[in-house]
Chains A and B, each alone.
Chain A
Protein backbone atom coordinates (compact mmCIF):
# COMPACT_ATOMS: atom_id res chain seq x y z
CA UNK A 1 0.00 0.00 0.00
CA UNK A 2 1.33 3.43 -0.85
CA UNK A 3 0.31 4.76 2.53
CA UNK A 4 2.68 2.46 4.39
CA UNK A 5 5.52 3.18 2.04
CA UNK A 6 5.08 6.92 2.40
CA UNK A 7 5.02 6.86 6.17
CA UNK A 8 8.12 4.68 6.19
CA UNK A 9 9.94 7.23 4.06
CA UNK A 10 8.88 10.05 6.40
CA UNK A 11 10.04 8.08 9.41
CA UNK A 12 13.32 7.35 7.65
CA UNK A 13 13.95 11.03 7.01
CA UNK A 14 13.21 11.82 10.67
CA UNK A 15 15.65 9.17 11.87
CA UNK A 16 18.34 10.51 9.51
CA UNK A 17 17.84 14.06 10.82
CA UNK A 18 18.05 12.88 14.45
CA UNK A 19 21.10 10.83 13.62
CA UNK A 20 22.76 13.84 12.08
CA UNK A 21 22.03 15.97 15.14
CA UNK A 22 23.51 13.22 17.31
CA UNK A 23 26.58 12.98 15.09
CA UNK A 24 27.01 16.73 15.25
CA UNK A 25 26.86 16.63 19.03
CA UNK A 26 29.38 13.84 19.42
CA UNK A 27 31.87 14.88 16.75
CA UNK A 28 31.77 18.64 16.63
CA UNK A 29 30.10 19.58 19.90
CA UNK A 30 31.27 19.91 23.45
CA UNK A 31 33.00 17.03 25.17
CA UNK A 32 30.24 15.01 26.69
CA UNK A 33 30.51 11.46 27.94
CA UNK A 34 27.53 9.54 26.63
CA UNK A 35 25.87 7.00 28.86
CA UNK A 36 23.24 5.47 26.63
CA UNK A 37 23.49 2.23 28.58
CA UNK A 38 21.61 3.93 31.44
CA UNK A 39 18.53 4.59 29.29
CA UNK A 40 16.96 1.11 28.76
CA UNK A 41 16.36 0.57 32.49
CA UNK A 42 14.53 3.89 32.57
CA UNK A 43 12.08 2.48 30.03
CA UNK A 44 11.67 -1.15 31.09
CA UNK A 45 13.47 -3.39 33.53
CA UNK A 46 13.05 -6.86 34.91
CA UNK A 47 13.41 -7.28 38.63
CA UNK A 48 12.21 -6.06 42.00
CA UNK A 49 10.96 -2.49 42.30
CA UNK A 50 11.80 -1.91 45.96
CA UNK A 51 12.04 -3.72 49.27
CA UNK A 52 8.26 -3.55 49.60
CA UNK A 53 7.63 -4.93 46.13
CA UNK A 54 10.30 -7.56 45.53
CA UNK A 55 8.53 -9.69 42.91
CA UNK A 56 10.88 -9.97 39.91
CA UNK A 57 8.83 -9.18 36.83
CA UNK A 58 8.89 -6.87 33.86
CA UNK A 59 8.14 -3.31 35.03
CA UNK A 60 8.02 0.18 33.62
CA UNK A 61 10.93 2.48 34.45
CA UNK A 62 10.86 6.18 35.29
CA UNK A 63 10.40 7.42 31.72
CA UNK A 64 7.81 4.82 30.70
CA UNK A 65 5.66 5.74 33.72
CA UNK A 66 5.61 9.31 32.42
CA UNK A 67 4.97 8.16 28.85
CA UNK A 68 1.88 6.20 29.91
CA UNK A 69 0.51 9.16 31.89
CA UNK A 70 1.03 11.58 29.01
CA UNK A 71 -0.58 9.10 26.61
CA UNK A 72 -3.56 8.56 28.89
CA UNK A 73 -4.22 12.22 29.64
CA UNK A 74 -3.79 13.19 25.98
CA UNK A 75 -6.19 10.51 24.73
CA UNK A 76 -8.88 11.45 27.24
CA UNK A 77 -8.45 15.15 26.46
CA UNK A 78 -8.65 14.56 22.71
CA UNK A 79 -11.92 12.60 23.06
CA UNK A 80 -13.53 15.17 25.39
CA UNK A 81 -12.04 18.01 23.37
CA UNK A 82 -13.72 16.76 20.18
CA UNK A 83 -17.02 16.47 22.01
CA UNK A 84 -16.85 19.94 23.61
CA UNK A 85 -15.51 21.47 20.41
CA UNK A 86 -18.26 20.05 18.19
CA UNK A 87 -21.04 21.19 20.52
CA UNK A 88 -19.55 24.67 20.99
CA UNK A 89 -18.66 24.99 17.31
CA UNK A 90 -22.27 24.37 16.31
CA UNK A 91 -23.47 26.68 19.09
CA UNK A 92 -21.23 29.40 17.65
CA UNK A 93 -23.40 29.33 14.51
CA UNK A 94 -26.69 29.16 16.37
CA UNK A 95 -29.46 31.62 15.52
CA UNK A 96 -30.20 31.88 19.21
CA UNK A 97 -28.25 34.97 20.40
CA UNK A 98 -27.73 33.75 23.99
CA UNK A 99 -26.29 30.39 22.90
CA UNK A 100 -24.13 32.03 20.28
CA UNK A 101 -22.73 34.65 22.64
CA UNK A 102 -22.11 32.14 25.43
CA UNK A 103 -20.19 29.92 23.03
CA UNK A 104 -18.25 32.91 21.79
CA UNK A 105 -17.42 34.01 25.34
CA UNK A 106 -16.15 30.49 26.18
CA UNK A 107 -13.90 30.40 23.12
CA UNK A 108 -12.44 33.84 23.74
CA UNK A 109 -11.95 33.29 27.46
CA UNK A 110 -10.10 30.01 26.98
CA UNK A 111 -8.07 30.99 23.95
CA UNK A 112 -6.89 34.26 25.46
CA UNK A 113 -5.70 33.01 28.84
CA UNK A 114 -2.63 30.85 29.48
CA UNK A 115 -3.20 27.12 29.83
CA UNK A 116 -1.07 27.06 32.99
CA UNK A 117 -3.45 29.49 34.71
CA UNK A 118 -6.43 27.40 33.63
CA UNK A 119 -4.82 24.26 35.08
CA UNK A 120 -4.16 26.04 38.39
CA UNK A 121 -7.74 27.36 38.60
CA UNK A 122 -9.34 24.04 37.72
CA UNK A 123 -7.23 22.03 40.17
CA UNK A 124 -6.85 24.38 43.12
CA UNK A 125 -10.20 26.18 43.10
CA UNK A 126 -12.79 24.17 41.18
CA UNK A 127 -11.03 20.89 41.97
CA UNK A 128 -10.90 21.58 45.69
CA UNK A 129 -14.61 22.35 45.79
CA UNK A 130 -15.63 19.33 43.70
CA UNK A 131 -12.91 17.10 45.19
CA UNK A 132 -11.46 16.27 41.80
CA UNK A 133 -8.39 14.08 41.64
CA UNK A 134 -5.29 15.56 40.01
CA UNK A 135 -5.82 13.37 36.96
CA UNK A 136 -9.48 14.37 36.58
CA UNK A 137 -8.59 18.06 36.99
CA UNK A 138 -5.75 17.82 34.49
CA UNK A 139 -7.92 16.04 31.95
CA UNK A 140 -10.71 18.58 32.46
CA UNK A 141 -8.34 21.52 32.00
CA UNK A 142 -6.81 20.11 28.83
CA UNK A 143 -10.20 19.14 27.40
CA UNK A 144 -11.66 22.58 28.02
CA UNK A 145 -8.56 24.14 26.51
CA UNK A 146 -8.61 21.91 23.41
CA UNK A 147 -12.38 22.32 23.12
CA UNK A 148 -12.08 26.05 22.48
CA UNK A 149 -9.65 25.55 19.59
CA UNK A 150 -11.60 22.62 18.18
CA UNK A 151 -14.76 24.75 18.31
CA UNK A 152 -13.20 27.33 16.03
CA UNK A 153 -11.95 24.64 13.67
CA UNK A 154 -15.40 23.04 13.57
CA UNK A 155 -17.07 26.41 12.99
CA UNK A 156 -14.71 27.21 10.13
CA UNK A 157 -15.32 23.75 8.69
CA UNK A 158 -19.09 24.14 8.76
CA UNK A 159 -18.91 27.63 7.28
CA UNK A 160 -16.69 26.37 4.48
CA UNK A 161 -19.51 24.15 3.22
CA UNK A 162 -21.43 26.00 0.56
CA UNK A 163 -24.70 27.33 1.95
CA UNK A 164 -26.51 25.76 -1.00
CA UNK A 165 -25.95 22.41 0.73
CA UNK A 166 -27.96 23.50 3.74
CA UNK A 167 -30.65 25.04 1.56
CA UNK A 168 -30.92 21.89 -0.54
CA UNK A 169 -31.14 19.69 2.56
CA UNK A 170 -33.80 21.90 4.12
CA UNK A 171 -35.83 21.96 0.89
CA UNK A 172 -35.79 18.15 0.93
CA UNK A 173 -37.77 18.38 4.14
CA UNK A 174 -34.95 17.83 6.64
CA UNK A 175 -34.99 19.95 9.77
CA UNK A 176 -31.90 21.89 10.90
CA UNK A 177 -30.55 19.08 13.08
CA UNK A 178 -31.01 16.46 10.38
CA UNK A 179 -29.37 18.65 7.77
CA UNK A 180 -26.39 19.16 10.09
CA UNK A 181 -26.16 15.49 11.00
CA UNK A 182 -26.52 13.98 7.52
CA UNK A 183 -25.32 16.65 5.10
CA UNK A 184 -23.14 19.40 6.59
CA UNK A 185 -21.10 17.72 9.34
CA UNK A 186 -19.91 14.71 7.29
CA UNK A 187 -18.56 17.06 4.63
CA UNK A 188 -17.12 19.50 7.16
CA UNK A 189 -15.43 16.71 9.13
CA UNK A 190 -13.39 15.69 6.11
CA UNK A 191 -12.07 19.23 5.70
CA UNK A 192 -11.17 19.80 9.32
CA UNK A 193 -9.04 16.68 9.79
CA UNK A 194 -5.67 18.37 8.99
CA UNK A 195 -6.11 21.38 11.34
CA UNK A 196 -7.60 19.06 13.97
CA UNK A 197 -4.54 16.81 13.80
CA UNK A 198 -2.29 19.85 14.25
CA UNK A 199 -4.31 20.93 17.27
CA UNK A 200 -4.07 17.53 18.93
CA UNK A 201 -0.35 17.27 18.28
CA UNK A 202 0.15 20.54 20.13
CA UNK A 203 -2.18 19.29 22.85
CA UNK A 204 0.07 16.27 23.46
CA UNK A 205 3.04 18.58 23.87
CA UNK A 206 1.10 21.14 25.97
CA UNK A 207 0.10 18.32 28.33
CA UNK A 208 3.53 18.64 29.96
CA UNK A 209 2.15 21.63 31.91
CA UNK A 210 0.15 19.32 34.17
CA UNK A 211 3.25 18.56 36.24
CA UNK A 212 2.38 21.57 38.44
CA UNK A 213 -0.61 19.65 39.80
CA UNK A 214 1.31 16.56 40.90
CA UNK A 215 0.92 14.58 37.68
CA UNK A 216 4.16 12.89 36.72
CA UNK A 217 4.04 13.30 32.95
CA UNK A 218 6.77 12.37 30.49
CA UNK A 219 8.59 15.71 30.54
CA UNK A 220 8.49 15.92 34.36
CA UNK A 221 9.79 12.35 34.73
CA UNK A 222 12.51 13.19 32.25
CA UNK A 223 13.54 16.26 34.28
CA UNK A 224 13.66 14.20 37.47
CA UNK A 225 15.72 11.51 35.79
CA UNK A 226 18.14 14.26 34.73
CA UNK A 227 18.16 15.69 38.25
CA UNK A 228 19.28 12.33 39.60
CA UNK A 229 21.57 10.92 36.94
CA UNK A 230 22.67 14.14 35.15
CA UNK A 231 22.58 12.38 31.78
CA UNK A 232 20.76 15.38 30.34
CA UNK A 233 21.18 14.81 26.62
CA UNK A 234 20.52 11.06 26.59
CA UNK A 235 17.35 11.51 28.60
CA UNK A 236 16.03 14.53 26.73
CA UNK A 237 16.70 12.82 23.38
CA UNK A 238 14.78 9.80 24.62
CA UNK A 239 11.93 11.99 25.87
CA UNK A 240 11.81 13.75 22.49
CA UNK A 241 11.72 10.39 20.74
CA UNK A 242 8.87 9.19 22.95
CA UNK A 243 6.88 12.34 22.18
CA UNK A 244 7.63 11.74 18.52
CA UNK A 245 6.24 8.19 18.79
CA UNK A 246 2.96 9.60 20.09
CA UNK A 247 2.60 12.54 17.74
CA UNK A 248 3.84 10.66 14.68
CA UNK A 249 1.36 7.85 15.30
CA UNK A 250 -1.38 10.46 15.54
CA UNK A 251 -0.21 12.10 12.31
CA UNK A 252 -0.19 8.78 10.51
CA UNK A 253 -3.61 7.82 11.85
CA UNK A 254 -5.16 11.07 10.65
CA UNK A 255 -3.48 10.75 7.26
CA UNK A 256 -4.87 7.27 6.93
CA UNK A 257 -8.31 8.57 7.88
CA UNK A 258 -7.99 11.36 5.35
CA UNK A 259 -7.12 8.87 2.61
CA UNK A 260 -10.01 6.60 3.51
CA UNK A 261 -12.47 9.48 3.48
CA UNK A 262 -11.07 10.83 0.21
CA UNK A 263 -12.35 7.68 -1.53
CA UNK A 264 -15.88 9.06 -1.40
CA UNK A 265 -14.85 12.26 -3.18
Chain B
Protein backbone atom coordinates (compact mmCIF):
# COMPACT_ATOMS: atom_id res chain seq x y z
CA UNK B 1 0.00 0.00 0.00
CA UNK B 2 2.69 2.39 1.07
CA UNK B 3 4.83 1.46 -1.90
CA UNK B 4 2.00 2.19 -4.32
CA UNK B 5 1.52 5.56 -2.70
CA UNK B 6 5.20 6.41 -3.06
CA UNK B 7 5.25 5.35 -6.70
CA UNK B 8 2.09 7.35 -7.35
CA UNK B 9 3.48 10.49 -5.71
CA UNK B 10 6.77 10.16 -7.57
CA UNK B 11 4.94 9.82 -10.88
CA UNK B 12 2.80 12.82 -10.04
CA UNK B 13 5.86 14.88 -9.20
CA UNK B 14 7.82 13.86 -12.29
CA UNK B 15 4.72 14.22 -14.43
CA UNK B 16 4.05 17.73 -13.25
CA UNK B 17 7.61 18.66 -14.13
CA UNK B 18 6.98 17.72 -17.75
CA UNK B 19 3.46 18.97 -18.01
CA UNK B 20 4.02 22.33 -16.30
CA UNK B 21 6.33 24.17 -18.68
CA UNK B 22 4.74 22.69 -21.75
CA UNK B 23 1.36 24.24 -20.90
CA UNK B 24 0.69 27.25 -23.05
CA UNK B 25 -0.51 30.43 -21.33
CA UNK B 26 -3.39 31.94 -23.22
CA UNK B 27 -3.91 35.68 -23.58
CA UNK B 28 -7.11 35.33 -21.53
CA UNK B 29 -5.06 34.05 -18.63
CA UNK B 30 -2.62 36.96 -18.87
CA UNK B 31 -5.54 39.36 -18.86
CA UNK B 32 -7.08 37.69 -15.83
CA UNK B 33 -3.81 37.91 -13.91
CA UNK B 34 -3.44 41.64 -14.61
CA UNK B 35 -3.61 44.17 -11.81
CA UNK B 36 -6.16 46.01 -13.95
CA UNK B 37 -8.56 43.10 -13.55
CA UNK B 38 -7.90 43.03 -9.80
CA UNK B 39 -8.58 46.78 -9.48
CA UNK B 40 -11.89 46.60 -11.33
CA UNK B 41 -13.02 43.58 -9.32
CA UNK B 42 -11.98 45.20 -6.04
CA UNK B 43 -13.54 48.54 -6.97
CA UNK B 44 -10.55 50.35 -5.49
CA UNK B 45 -7.18 51.53 -6.75
CA UNK B 46 -4.35 51.04 -4.26
CA UNK B 47 -1.50 53.50 -4.72
CA UNK B 48 1.81 53.19 -2.87
CA UNK B 49 3.83 56.29 -2.04
CA UNK B 50 6.05 57.91 0.51
CA UNK B 51 4.58 61.31 1.30
CA UNK B 52 7.86 63.06 1.93
CA UNK B 53 8.76 64.41 -1.49
CA UNK B 54 7.47 67.87 -2.32
CA UNK B 55 5.67 68.78 -4.46
CA UNK B 56 4.96 65.29 -5.78
CA UNK B 57 3.53 63.89 -2.54
CA UNK B 58 3.43 65.22 1.00
CA UNK B 59 1.34 65.15 4.14
CA UNK B 60 -0.15 68.37 5.47
CA UNK B 61 -0.62 69.28 9.14
CA UNK B 62 -4.07 67.70 9.10
CA UNK B 63 -2.68 64.38 7.94
CA UNK B 64 -4.03 64.69 4.35
CA UNK B 65 -1.77 63.34 1.63
CA UNK B 66 -1.61 65.83 -1.24
CA UNK B 67 0.60 66.64 -4.24
CA UNK B 68 1.11 66.25 -7.97
CA UNK B 69 1.18 62.44 -7.96
CA UNK B 70 -1.84 62.36 -5.67
CA UNK B 71 -3.91 64.52 -8.04
CA UNK B 72 -2.84 62.25 -10.90
CA UNK B 73 -3.94 59.22 -8.86
CA UNK B 74 -7.37 60.85 -8.41
CA UNK B 75 -7.57 61.49 -12.15
CA UNK B 76 -6.71 57.84 -12.64
CA UNK B 77 -9.50 56.87 -10.23
CA UNK B 78 -11.98 58.93 -12.26
CA UNK B 79 -10.78 57.31 -15.48
CA UNK B 80 -11.13 53.82 -13.99
CA UNK B 81 -14.40 54.11 -12.08
CA UNK B 82 -16.15 57.12 -13.61
CA UNK B 83 -17.44 60.18 -11.72
CA UNK B 84 -16.57 60.08 -8.03
CA UNK B 85 -13.80 57.61 -8.80
CA UNK B 86 -11.30 59.71 -6.85
CA UNK B 87 -12.97 58.42 -3.67
CA UNK B 88 -12.03 54.89 -4.68
CA UNK B 89 -8.32 55.65 -4.61
CA UNK B 90 -6.60 54.34 -1.52
CA UNK B 91 -3.24 55.98 -0.80
CA UNK B 92 -0.84 53.74 1.12
CA UNK B 93 1.84 55.81 2.77
CA UNK B 94 4.90 53.65 3.35
CA UNK B 95 8.59 54.20 4.10
CA UNK B 96 10.79 54.17 0.97
CA UNK B 97 12.76 51.09 2.06
CA UNK B 98 9.63 48.96 1.95
CA UNK B 99 7.98 50.36 -1.15
CA UNK B 100 9.24 47.93 -3.85
CA UNK B 101 8.81 44.77 -1.72
CA UNK B 102 5.25 45.93 -0.96
CA UNK B 103 4.48 46.37 -4.67
CA UNK B 104 5.87 42.94 -5.49
CA UNK B 105 3.79 41.27 -2.76
CA UNK B 106 0.55 42.86 -4.05
CA UNK B 107 0.12 45.33 -1.19
CA UNK B 108 -0.70 47.92 -3.83
CA UNK B 109 -1.16 48.14 -7.61
CA UNK B 110 1.18 50.97 -8.52
CA UNK B 111 3.93 53.13 -7.06
CA UNK B 112 3.29 56.82 -7.76
CA UNK B 113 6.00 58.39 -5.70
CA UNK B 114 8.27 60.37 -8.01
CA UNK B 115 10.38 57.29 -8.61
CA UNK B 116 13.42 57.69 -10.85
CA UNK B 117 13.86 55.08 -13.58
CA UNK B 118 17.10 53.34 -12.72
CA UNK B 119 18.20 50.41 -14.82
CA UNK B 120 18.90 48.44 -11.64
CA UNK B 121 15.42 49.23 -10.33
CA UNK B 122 13.97 48.31 -13.69
CA UNK B 123 15.18 44.75 -13.13
CA UNK B 124 12.67 44.47 -10.29
CA UNK B 125 9.71 46.50 -11.56
CA UNK B 126 8.22 47.73 -14.82
CA UNK B 127 8.03 51.46 -15.47
CA UNK B 128 5.46 53.37 -17.52
CA UNK B 129 6.53 56.10 -19.90
CA UNK B 130 8.39 58.84 -17.98
CA UNK B 131 6.01 61.57 -16.81
CA UNK B 132 8.51 64.10 -15.55
CA UNK B 133 12.18 64.78 -16.15
CA UNK B 134 14.24 66.10 -13.31
CA UNK B 135 17.91 66.53 -12.70
CA UNK B 136 19.96 66.94 -9.59
CA UNK B 137 20.45 70.61 -8.76
CA UNK B 138 22.42 72.52 -6.17
CA UNK B 139 21.44 74.84 -3.36
CA UNK B 140 24.26 77.10 -2.21
CA UNK B 141 24.63 79.94 0.26
CA UNK B 142 24.07 83.44 -1.09
CA UNK B 143 27.56 84.57 -0.07
CA UNK B 144 29.02 81.89 -2.39
CA UNK B 145 26.97 83.03 -5.38
CA UNK B 146 30.00 84.14 -7.40
CA UNK B 147 32.36 81.53 -6.01
CA UNK B 148 30.32 78.57 -7.17
CA UNK B 149 28.55 78.74 -10.50
CA UNK B 150 28.85 75.14 -11.60
CA UNK B 151 29.10 71.81 -9.79
CA UNK B 152 32.71 71.51 -10.99
CA UNK B 153 33.61 74.47 -8.76
CA UNK B 154 32.59 72.39 -5.76
CA UNK B 155 34.77 69.40 -6.56
CA UNK B 156 37.52 70.46 -4.15
CA UNK B 157 39.00 69.25 -0.89
CA UNK B 158 37.34 70.87 2.13
CA UNK B 159 34.04 71.59 0.41
CA UNK B 160 31.06 70.09 2.29
CA UNK B 161 28.14 68.80 0.23
CA UNK B 162 24.95 67.52 1.90
CA UNK B 163 22.11 65.32 0.70
CA UNK B 164 19.67 62.70 1.93
CA UNK B 165 20.69 59.12 2.73
CA UNK B 166 20.32 56.63 -0.12
CA UNK B 167 18.90 58.93 -2.82
CA UNK B 168 20.11 59.83 -6.31
CA UNK B 169 21.57 63.10 -5.04
CA UNK B 170 23.98 61.23 -2.80
CA UNK B 171 25.12 58.87 -5.59
CA UNK B 172 25.56 61.78 -7.99
CA UNK B 173 27.64 63.78 -5.54
CA UNK B 174 29.94 60.79 -5.03
CA UNK B 175 30.36 60.46 -8.78
CA UNK B 176 30.79 64.06 -9.96
CA UNK B 177 32.31 65.63 -6.83
CA UNK B 178 34.63 62.91 -5.49
CA UNK B 179 36.95 65.41 -3.81
CA UNK B 180 34.26 67.10 -1.74
CA UNK B 181 33.16 65.76 1.64
CA UNK B 182 29.67 64.26 1.47
CA UNK B 183 27.39 64.48 4.51
CA UNK B 184 24.13 62.56 4.36
CA UNK B 185 21.02 63.16 6.46
CA UNK B 186 17.84 61.22 7.13
CA UNK B 187 15.67 63.98 5.67
CA UNK B 188 16.35 66.46 2.88
CA UNK B 189 15.29 69.33 5.16
CA UNK B 190 18.23 68.73 7.48
CA UNK B 191 20.64 68.79 4.53
CA UNK B 192 19.24 72.05 3.16
CA UNK B 193 19.26 73.63 6.61
CA UNK B 194 23.01 73.02 6.84
CA UNK B 195 23.49 75.22 3.78
CA UNK B 196 21.10 77.91 5.03
CA UNK B 197 23.02 77.98 8.29
CA UNK B 198 26.34 78.22 6.45
CA UNK B 199 27.60 74.96 7.93
CA UNK B 200 27.79 73.23 4.54
CA UNK B 201 28.68 74.64 1.12
CA UNK B 202 26.08 72.97 -1.05
CA UNK B 203 23.02 70.76 -0.93
CA UNK B 204 22.38 68.44 -3.85
CA UNK B 205 18.88 67.17 -4.54
CA UNK B 206 16.10 66.80 -7.09
CA UNK B 207 15.17 69.99 -8.91
CA UNK B 208 11.60 70.60 -7.61
CA UNK B 209 12.72 70.22 -4.02
CA UNK B 210 15.68 72.55 -4.46
CA UNK B 211 13.24 75.11 -5.91
CA UNK B 212 11.15 74.89 -2.74
CA UNK B 213 14.19 75.36 -0.52
CA UNK B 214 15.53 78.23 -2.63
CA UNK B 215 12.14 79.97 -2.34
CA UNK B 216 11.93 79.26 1.39
CA UNK B 217 15.41 80.38 2.39
CA UNK B 218 15.68 83.02 -0.33
CA UNK B 219 17.40 85.49 1.99
CA UNK B 220 20.21 83.05 2.60
CA UNK B 221 20.42 80.67 -0.34
CA UNK B 222 20.28 80.47 -4.13
CA UNK B 223 19.83 77.51 -6.43
CA UNK B 224 21.94 76.41 -9.37
CA UNK B 225 19.30 74.92 -11.63
CA UNK B 226 21.46 73.63 -14.45
CA UNK B 227 20.67 69.93 -14.09
CA UNK B 228 23.64 67.71 -13.32
CA UNK B 229 21.90 64.47 -14.20
CA UNK B 230 19.16 63.19 -16.49
CA UNK B 231 16.47 61.47 -14.47
CA UNK B 232 13.15 60.41 -15.87
CA UNK B 233 10.46 59.83 -13.23
CA UNK B 234 7.82 57.19 -13.82
CA UNK B 235 5.12 55.13 -12.17
CA UNK B 236 6.17 51.60 -11.32
CA UNK B 237 4.11 48.43 -11.54
CA UNK B 238 4.78 44.72 -11.15
CA UNK B 239 6.78 43.07 -13.89
CA UNK B 240 5.10 41.37 -16.81
CA UNK B 241 1.74 43.12 -16.51
CA UNK B 242 1.32 44.31 -20.09
CA UNK B 243 -2.38 45.17 -19.79
CA UNK B 244 -1.92 47.52 -16.87
CA UNK B 245 1.14 49.07 -18.52
CA UNK B 246 -0.79 49.68 -21.72
CA UNK B 247 -3.69 51.29 -19.84
CA UNK B 248 -1.36 53.57 -17.86
CA UNK B 249 0.62 54.75 -20.89
CA UNK B 250 -2.55 55.61 -22.76
CA UNK B 251 -3.94 57.39 -19.70
CA UNK B 252 -0.75 59.41 -19.50
CA UNK B 253 -0.97 60.38 -23.16
CA UNK B 254 -4.59 61.46 -22.63
CA UNK B 255 -4.03 63.72 -19.59
CA UNK B 256 -0.97 65.23 -21.25
CA UNK B 257 -2.99 66.12 -24.31
CA UNK B 258 -6.23 67.44 -22.82
CA UNK B 259 -4.83 70.10 -20.47
CA UNK B 260 -5.28 68.32 -17.14
CA UNK B 261 -1.54 67.83 -16.99
CA UNK B 262 -0.70 71.52 -17.39
CA UNK B 263 -3.32 72.51 -14.81
CA UNK B 264 -1.85 70.10 -12.31
CA UNK B 265 1.68 71.23 -13.04
CA UNK B 266 0.74 74.88 -12.56
CA UNK B 267 -0.94 74.01 -9.25
CA UNK B 268 1.98 72.16 -7.70
CA UNK B 269 5.13 73.45 -9.37
CA UNK B 270 4.26 77.14 -9.45
CA UNK B 271 1.36 78.10 -7.15
CA UNK B 272 2.26 75.71 -4.38
CA UNK B 273 5.96 76.69 -4.25
CA UNK B 274 4.97 80.38 -4.04
CA UNK B 275 2.55 79.51 -1.24
CA UNK B 276 5.21 77.62 0.73
CA UNK B 277 7.69 80.45 0.38
CA UNK B 278 5.03 82.97 1.39
CA UNK B 279 4.14 81.03 4.52
CA UNK B 280 7.75 81.09 5.60
CA UNK B 281 8.05 84.83 5.07
CA UNK B 282 5.25 85.59 7.55
Q: Is the CB of B187 within 8 A of A227?
A: yes
| Chain A residues bordering chain B, tally (CB within 8 A) | 38
Assess whether A120 is in contact with B98, with CB atoms less than 8 Å apart.
yes
How far, in whole Å, are A214 and B92 apart by their CA atoms in the complex?
A: 6
Known contacts A212-B94, A212-B95, then 19 further A-B pairs from the complex at CB < 8 Å, ordered by chain A residue = A31-B197, A41-B62, A49-B62, A49-B64, A59-B62, A61-B62, A62-B59, A62-B62, A124-B101, A128-B105, A214-B93, A214-B94, A214-B107, A224-B59, A224-B93, A226-B190, A227-B59, A228-B52, A230-B189
Complex Cα spacing A229 to B189, Å: 9
- A216 in the interface (beta carbon within 8 A): yes
**Which A-chain residue is minimally distant from B94 (CB atoms)?**
A214
Question: A227: which of B52, B63, B87 is its contact (CB, 8 Å)?
Answer: B52
Are A224 and B58 in contact (CB-based, < 8 A)? yes
Q: Does A166 belong to the interface (CB within 8 Å)? A: no
Name the prevailing secondary structure of the B interface residues: mixed
Q: Is B181 an interface residue (CB 8 A)?
A: no
- CB of B61 within 8 A of CB of A45, answer yes
Q: Which of B63, B64, B192 has the most CB of A within 10 A?
A: B63
Closest chain A CB from B95 CB (angstroms): 4
Contact between A60 and B63 (Cβ–Cβ < 8 Å)?
Answer: yes
Q: How far is the CA of A45 from the CA of B62 in the complex (A)?
A: 8
Find chain B residues with CB under 8 A from A52 CB: 87
Q: Which residues from chain A sit less than 8 Å from chain B, CB to CB?
A: 30-32, 38, 41-42, 45, 49-50, 52, 59-62, 65, 120, 123-125, 127-128, 134, 211-214, 216, 220-221, 223-230, 232
Say how far A51's CB is from chain B's closest CB, in angstroms: 10
For A232, the chain B residues whose CB sits under 8 A away are 187, 189-190, 193
**Does B199 touch A at the CB level, under 8 Å?**
yes
Best-surrounded residue of B87, B93, B213 (most CB of chain A within 10 A) = B93
The residue among B60, B87, B186, B188 with the most chain A CB atoms within 10 A of its own CB is B60
Per-position 1/0 for B210-243, Cβ under 8 A of A: 0001001000000000000000000000000000
Chain A's closest residue to B86 (CB) is A52
B35: min CB distance to chain A, Å? 15
In the bound complex, residues from chain A placing their C-beta under 8 Å from that of B188 are: 227
Q: Do A41 and B102 form a contact, CB below 8 Å, given A214-B92, A214-B94, A224-B51?
A: no
Given the complex, which residues of B lie within 8 Å of A42, measured CB to CB?
A: 61
Chain A min CB distance to B126 (Å): 19
Indicate if the CB atoms of B52 and A224 lie closer than 8 Å.
Answer: yes
A61 to B60, CA, bound (A): 9
CA–CA, A123 and B187, complex, Å: 25
B258 on interface, CB distance cutoff 8 Å: no
- B130 to chain A minimum Cβ distance, whole angstroms, is 24
Within 8 Å of chain A (Cβ to Cβ): is B106? yes
Establish whether residues A230 and B62, one from each chain, have CB atoms under 8 Å apart when the complex forms. Answer: no
Closest 4 CB pairs of A and B: A212-B98, A214-B94, A227-B52, A211-B95
Contact indicator per residue, chain B 76-95, by CB within 8 Å of chain A (1) or not (0): 00000000000100001111
Chain B stretch 141-174: residues in CB contact (< 8 A) with chain A: none
Say whether, besides A213-B94, A220-B95, A61 and B61 are in contact (CB < 8 Å). Answer: yes
